[in-house]
Amino acid sequence: MCAQHSKPKSNLIASVLTNSCPRCRAGKLFSNSNPYNLKTMMDMPENCPVCGQPFELQTGFYFGTGYVSYALCVAIMATFFVATYVFGFISIHDNSIFYWLGANAALLILLQPIIQRLSRSIWIAIFVKYERNAEVLQH
């Protein structure tokens, strides 16, 4: 790909949420854009197709995503708990908390492909800094 077309650069949050390369914010981190294609959901190219940034910085680089994934799951659980409590779906006066536990488990399982991809995106964005003309430097 060439850098002749000037595409507006997304900011850090948008690039993380769209699973984009943290260096150029244009290349995609994952080979398949559909996270629910479970066979290929975690397939990543070795290098960014736009700027050439290696996506696995060292062997086992993505082991650390477990910490990010854990934090994301806790945040989702807390948000889900507060939302269901505020809207009156659970109460401390009956057994509705057990239904909440089941619904929460189902929610987290359904969101796993998105959470895992987002964890990798956040993790690599911590270590790779943005370069304004990264794709130009590559070619």
CB-nearer residue toward Zn ion: 48 or 72: 48
Residue number with CB closer to Zn ion (53 or 65): 53
What binding mask, one character per residue, do residues 2-21 give for Zn ion by CB under 5 A, x or -?
-------------------x
Residue 41: φ, ψ to 5°: -65, -30
> 101-109 — which CB contacts under 8 Å span 24+ positions?
104/77, 104/80, 107/76, 107/80, 108/73, 108/76, 108/77
Applying CB under 5 A, the site for Zn ion has a residue count of: 8
SS3 45: coil
Nearer to Zn ion, 10 or 112 (CB): 10
What letter represents residue 13's amino acid?
A: I
Q: Identify which range of 4-12, 51-59, 67-75, 76-84 contacts Zn ion by CB under 5 A.
A: 51-59
Q: How distant, in Å, are the alpha carbons of 17, 69, 74 from that of 82?
A: 23, 20, 12
From the CB of 50, what's the least distance to Zn ion, in Å?
A: 5
> Among the candidate windows 47-55, 56-64, 72-80, 87-95, which touches Zn ion by CB under 5 A?
47-55
Which residues make up the interface to Zn ion (CB under 5 A)? 21, 23-24, 27, 48, 50-51, 53
